[in-house]
Amino acid sequence: MSKSTEFQLVKGRVFADLGLYERVSGLYDGQWLAGEGRRRIAVHSPINGERLAEVAVADEEDYSRLIERAWMSFAEWSLVPAPKRGEVVREIGDRLREYVDTLGLLVSLEVGKTPVEGKGEVQEMIDIADFAVGLSRQLYGKTIASERQHHRLFEQWHPHGVVGVITAFNFPCAVWSWNAFIAAVIGNVVVWKPSPNGALTAIAITNIVNEVLDEQGLPALFFVAVDGAGEIGRLMSSDRKLPLLSFTGSVRTGREVAARVGERIGRSILELGGNNAAIVTPDADMEIALRGVAFGALATAAQRCTTTRRLILHESLFDSLLPRLIEAYRSVRVGSPLEPGVLVGPLISGRAVESYSSAIGRAEASGGRVLVGNSVLALPGLEGGNYVAPTLIDGLAPDSEIVCEETFAPILYVLSYSDLEEAFAIHNCVPQGLSSSIFSNNLREVEAFLSVVGSDCGLANVNAGTAGAEIGGAFGGEKDTGGGRESGSDAWKAYARRQTVTVNYGDELPLAQGVTFDVN
């Protein structure tokens, strides 16, 4: 069977199962907006450049109506007891279980992940749904000892109202669910602006979620507005009717979003780009290090925010570990993610391929030496796809401009260190601070890495790669990565407003700090 036929078969099956068509609406405001007469964007598959569908996008008027309706839903939803809200999220998680395979394949078609990674993303949604169900019974506030007699002092957490979620292309399902399910059990209503490159996945998920809400006679809780070039994203950033905006994307766009939200003194959760490094010391288990670095640097075609982009390798390992890594880079199969055995799929767009080539050019101009890779690939039967050869480069200064940037493509810079202090200095010299890892079995090295002089990132992994976080921990990074936290642990608090409550149940009015204020 030709690659094109196989692609069409998969597309047909996925579209039929998920209720997608060649022309779909990209605005859900309680109902799907009719597409006639509206601007449309085309969604192409990075696998072969084929047009998957056309999506009608929202304009400013549509957006205003959507926000109004979302607040109407909030009035109802916020009064539902939290554990009952959890029940609804449980049903949604169960329904998603029925669609793991096809939704995972849609992720493959739309953003080029391998089916196992696409499925993993859907699994992550299910996991976070389970987490949110538990959380719906654990939205605790503290009781604090009051200094005044017959007074009770405590904290409670209320929903913000309507919460905006803007997501990047590279996690078209999971990141929305990290935000949406946690926000929903707290009592918020969610407005999602997905990446145009993940629009079909967003539409399919909304269809699945709506099945559950309709069955339960609930109002719309998960709204969607697709745009073409950030128009709706800009409206959301400036909109005072979104007290909280969670933004996942590049540092460049995040800066603009942060400025707009800051201007209106709103709250934001910023999950921006990373520039993650793995340190490999002579005391590492080399098999684990090799696999951990290869997975971290190559999985999802290096289009994860947590992708390993810098390998900080002890100078003594350049003759042993590095040749093995070069070999792994040579042998890894690049191609259509629908083909068995392929580990590295396409980049999301032609622009991403250009930034790959340009970064390599800049690295070479700065003294970098390409060890393997540096090739844009024209694969038979996949001519419209965006394929590149995974590339290793050494010889660059750790603080050179190109090494300090996040290039969203499979390029790994290999940097040399001689002592651990130097490794940490190299590690921390980039502006981003998302994920980090050390491969070592030496307790002192590991603990130093985890100490205040070690990794300055939001995620620090030991003998595990920089990529592949679990949902139970709070996820996010420091410095230019934005400081936001999503997903597990107590990250839920960002989706709620804290209220400190004082109740005087006595028959006097004592004031705090012993202040007296007698008016008669």
- Between 10 and 457, name the residue whose CB sits nearer to ligand NAD: 457
Minimum separation from the CB atom of position 304 to ligand NAD (A): 7
| φ and ψ of 347, to 5 deg | -80, 165
Class of residue 351 by CB neighbours under 10 A (exposed 0-12, middle 13-18, buried 19+) = exposed
Interacting residue with ligand NAD among 162, 163, 165, 168 (CB under 6 A):
168
Tokens of 244: 């909280």
Query: For this structure, is 271 an active site residue?
Result: yes
CB 410 within 8 A of CB 370: no
Site membership for ligand NAD, residue 268 (CB under 6 A): no
Site membership for ligand NAD, residue 178 (CB under 6 A): no
Minimum separation from the CB atom of position 7 to ligand NAD (A): 23
Closest CA relative to residue 409, chosen from 341, 359, 371, 372: 359
Site membership for ligand NAD, residue 167 (CB under 6 A): yes
- Between 222 and 417, name the residue whose CB sits nearer to ligand NAD: 222
Site membership for ligand NAD, residue 337 (CB under 6 A): no
- Taking CB under 6 A as the binding criterion, the range among 69-77, 120-128, 208-216, 266-274 that sits at the site for ligand NAD is 266-274
DSSP for 217-258, please give it.
Answer: TPPP-EEEE--SSSHHHHHHHH-TT-SEEEEES-HHHHHHHH
Site membership for ligand NAD, residue 481 (CB under 6 A): yes
- Between 300 and 416, name the residue whose CB sits nearer to ligand NAD: 300
Kindly name the residue from 110, 117, 124, 271 that is annotated as catalytic.
Answer: 271
Query: For this structure, is 305 an active site residue?
Result: yes
CB 105 within 8 A of CB 121: no
Class of residue 505 by CB neighbours under 10 A (exposed 0-12, middle 13-18, buried 19+) = exposed
CB 423 within 8 A of CB 279: yes
Positions in 403-422 near ligand NAD (CB under 6 A):
406, 408
Spatial distance between the Cα atoms of 168 and 183, rounded to a whole number of angstroms: 18
Interacting residue with ligand NAD among 305, 459, 469, 491 (CB under 6 A):
305
- Between 170 and 386, name the residue whose CB sits nearer to ligand NAD: 170
Angle between helices 100-111 and 82-97 (to 10 degrees): 80
Site membership for ligand NAD, residue 368 (CB under 6 A): no
Site membership for ligand NAD, residue 459 (CB under 6 A): no
CB 275 within 8 A of CB 298: no
CA distances from 126 to 114, 313, 427 (A): 19, 37, 34
- Between 152 and 234, name the residue whose CB sits nearer to ligand NAD: 234
Site membership for ligand NAD, residue 195 (CB under 6 A): yes
Minimum separation from the CB atom of position 165 to ligand NAD (A): 10
Class of residue 159 by CB neighbours under 10 A (exposed 0-12, middle 13-18, buried 19+) = buried
CA distances from 143 to 139, 155, 186, 503, 505 (A): 13, 6, 19, 12, 15
Minimum separation from the CB atom of position 408 to ligand NAD (A): 6
Site membership for ligand NAD, residue 266 (CB under 6 A): no
- Between 170 and 336, name the residue whose CB sits nearer to ligand NAD: 170
Minimum separation from the CB atom of position 203 to ligand NAD (A): 14
Tokens of 210: 């709506």
SS3 of 335-363: the string is CCCCCCCCCECCCCCHHHHHHHHHHHHHH
Kindly name the residue from 117, 124, 173, 305 that is annotated as catalytic.
Answer: 305
Site membership for ligand NAD, residue 170 (CB under 6 A): yes
Minimum separation from the CB atom of position 222 to ligand NAD (A): 16
Spatial distance between the Cα atoms of 312 and 43, rounded to a whole number of angstroms: 38
Tokens of 128: 């976070």
Closest CA relative to residue 206, chosen from 187, 225, 179: 225
Site membership for ligand NAD, residue 130 (CB under 6 A): no
Interacting residue with ligand NAD among 93, 120, 159, 249 (CB under 6 A):
249
Residue with tokens 């993650």: 276
- Taking CB under 6 A as the binding criterion, the range among 79-87, 190-198, 214-222, 501-509 that sits at the site for ligand NAD is 190-198
- Between 248 and 336, name the residue whose CB sits nearer to ligand NAD: 248
Site membership for ligand NAD, residue 436 (CB under 6 A): no
Q: Up-side HSE of residue 89: CA atoms within 13 Å toward CB?
A: 35
For residue 90, count other CB atoms closer than 10 A to its CB.
19
Minimum separation from the CB atom of position 152 to ligand NAD (A): 39
Spatial distance between the Cα atoms of 46 and 387, rounded to a whole number of angstroms: 9
Interacting residue with ligand NAD among 271, 394, 445, 480 (CB under 6 A):
271
Question: Which residues contact ligand NAD by CB under 6 A?
Answer: 166-171, 175, 193, 195-196, 230, 233-234, 237, 248-250, 253, 256-257, 271-274, 305, 406, 408, 434, 477, 481
Catalytic residue numbers, as ranges: 271, 305
